[in-house]
Amino acid sequence: MAFLPDEARSLPPPPLLNKGSVWLAFAGWMAALIDNSFNQRPVFRSGLHRQILLATVGWFVGYQLVKRTEYIHAKVDRELFEYMRHHPEDFKAAGT
């Protein structure tokens, strides 16, 4: 993906069924249904190909956003642990 650096490849991929994918797939499907409604077509029966397409696009975008989010969280964790390793005096065990 264009907005993920190569170092993100070392992370395990997120599950296909995740919150971001499901929500954005649902949003894409609802966008197709709302478009049908605004254009006074049968809401569920008209444009099934658009419904499937927009749900698939939403699923893909949601998956990529979850992937990017996991990369950003991993990067922050790595930087935090690196800081803790270089400054152990700031992170003494409790009770000592």
Residue 7 has which token pair? 């170092």
- Tens-place pLDDT, residues 13-52: 999 999 999 999 999 999 999 999 999 999 999 999 999 9
Rounded CA gap, 1 and 68, in Å? 10
CA distances from 89 to 40, 70, 92, 95, 96 (A): 68, 29, 6, 14, 12
Q: What is the pTM of this model?
A: 0.83
SS3 1: coil
